[in-house]
């Protein structure tokens, strides 16, 4: 649909243009921030999991929050949406302080995050999950959601919105299936559709690509881009750097609880601090250790395992010039 594509490009361009003059530095001020956080700290015992001095999220943009495992991204999401409490700090959404606000009130204010489908939710049907999206986040009771005759006046509107969203996310044929029977990708779509039941302004997605079959990847990317198309702001945590490059207008990097870097994807991903943060387990190793691992082939095995491939005997073979049977 050319018109949709045109409009999508225009929205992306508008977001990129709005961010063009923003300094590429941690805590950079944005021209029209929807979310602003200050001095947010969360300790777990002796560990300072989140230590964010200042961060702003530009309205109407798709912002990626990236960083190595344990950087504090999910904890920061939990704090912002009221699922966890900070030791100190403050943040505003649309200029309104949300510190100490419970999740359903955060959602009612227009800021939602996706939830993983727990075992309990897997035992409900797709449409029941959608109804629960309207109620769980709005603070209505579970039983009222499950027993629509107790609140018939609202039920029609909620069901209609749920049906529309299911059609948009191509889940309408799964309407009466148990959520637990869906594939990983379909579950992600259901999570996203359910979050939209409250007509949010800011959608926070925690690893939308995790566990998604490549066949559904493109469709998921389009759905996320479409949220911006419809005027929403998106903040997402993701390890899939292709996704970040493809759809993010702005990238915020966390490491050890702090904001390390910010900027457009192409700038951030070539930033030495970001490359450093992502070097991960092998970063601290001495060359001698790495050489030893190369000699014994264990590094090749690790790499192969991460890529889901057979251990690559050829790596050792190429280095030694020997074949498997010693020739």
> Which residues have C-beta within 8 Å of that of residue 239, sequence separation ≥ 6?
66, 207, 209, 210
Cα–Cα distance between 167 and 170 in angstroms, integer? 5
Stretch that binds ligand ATP, among 15-23, 42-50, 195-203, 259-267 (CB under 6 A): 42-50
Any idea which residue has 């029977």 for tokens?
181
For 219-277, the three-class secondary structure string (H helix, E strand, C coil) is HHHHHHHHHHHCCCEEEEECCCHHHHHHHCCEEEEEECCEEEEEECHHHHCCCHHHHHH
Q: In terms of CB distance, is 49 or 130 closer to ligand ATP?
A: 49
Angle, CA of 129, 132 and 136, to the nearest 5°: 140
Stretch that binds ligand ATP, among 73-81, 129-137, 195-203, 294-302 (CB under 6 A): 73-81
From 15, 35, 62, 71, residue interacting with ligand ATP (rule: CB under 6 A): 71
Stretch that binds ligand ATP, among 63-71, 128-136, 155-163, 313-321 (CB under 6 A): 63-71
> Which residues have C-beta within 8 Å of that of residue 266, sequence separation ≥ 6?
245
On whether the CB atoms of residues 29 and 56 are closer than 8 A, the answer is: yes
Does 142 help bind ligand ATP (rule: CB under 6 A)?
Answer: no
Structure token pair of residue 25: 């530095």
Total residues contacting ligand ATP by CB under 6 A comes to: 11
From 59, 73, 161, 187, residue interacting with ligand ATP (rule: CB under 6 A): 73
Stretch that binds ligand ATP, among 68-76, 141-149, 178-186, 300-308 (CB under 6 A): 68-76
Q: 74-93: which residues touch ligand ATP (CB under 6 A)? A: 74-75
Does 69 help bind ligand ATP (rule: CB under 6 A)?
Answer: yes
Q: 21-40: which residues touch ligand ATP (CB under 6 A)? A: none
Shortest Å distance, C-beta 165 to ligand ATP: 27
Q: In terms of CB distance, is 69 or 230 closer to ligand ATP?
A: 69
Structure token pair of residue 120: 């309990």
Shortest Å distance, C-beta 255 to ligand ATP: 9
Stretch that binds ligand ATP, among 22-30, 62-70, 172-180, 314-322 (CB under 6 A): 62-70
Is residue 89 left, alpha or beta, with left meaning phi > 0 and alpha meaning psi from -120 to 50? left
**Which stretches of the chain bind ligand ATP, using CB under 6 A?**
44, 47, 49, 67, 69-75
């Amino acid at each position: 649909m050319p018109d949709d594509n045109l409009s999508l490009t225009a929205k992306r361009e508008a977001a990129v243009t709005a961010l063009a003059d923003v300094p590429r530095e941690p805590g950079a001020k944005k021209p029209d921030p929807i979310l602003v956080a200050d001095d947010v700290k969360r300790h777990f015992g002796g560990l300072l999991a989140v230590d964010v001095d200042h961060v702003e999220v530009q309205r109407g943009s798709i912002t990626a929050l990236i960083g190595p495992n344990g950087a504090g991204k999910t904890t920061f999401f939990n704090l912002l949406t009221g699922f966890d409490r900070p030791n100190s700090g403050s943040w505003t959404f649309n200029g309104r302080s949300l510190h100490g606000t419970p999740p359903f009130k955060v959602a009612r204010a227009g800021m939602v995050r996706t939830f993983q489908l727990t075992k309990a939710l897997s035992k409900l049907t797709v449409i029941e999950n959608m109804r629960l999206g309207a109620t769980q986040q709005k603070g209505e009771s579970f039983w009222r959601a499950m027993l629509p005759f107790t609140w018939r006046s609202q039920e029609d509107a909620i069901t209609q919105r749920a049906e529309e969203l299911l059609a948009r996310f191509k889940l309408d044929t799964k309407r009466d299936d148990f959520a637990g029977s869906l594939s990983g990708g379909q579950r992600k779509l259901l999570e996203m559709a359910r979050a939209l039941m409250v007509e949010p302004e800011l959608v926070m997605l925690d690893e939308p690509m995790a566990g998604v079959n490549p066949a559904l990847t493109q469709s998921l990317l389009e759905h996320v881009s479409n949220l911006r198309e419809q005027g929403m702001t998106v903040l997402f945590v993701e390890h899939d750097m292709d996704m970040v490059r493809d759809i993010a207008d702005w990238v915020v990097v966390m490491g050890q609880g702090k904001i390390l870097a910010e900027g457009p994807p192409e700038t951030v991903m070539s930033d030495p601090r970001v490359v450093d943060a992502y070097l991960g387990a092998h970063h601290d190793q001495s060359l001698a250790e790495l050489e030893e691992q190369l000699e014994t082939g264990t590094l090749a095995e690790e790499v192969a395992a991460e890529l889901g491939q057979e251990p690559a005997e050829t790596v050792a073979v190429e280095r030694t010039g020997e074949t498997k049977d010693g020739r």
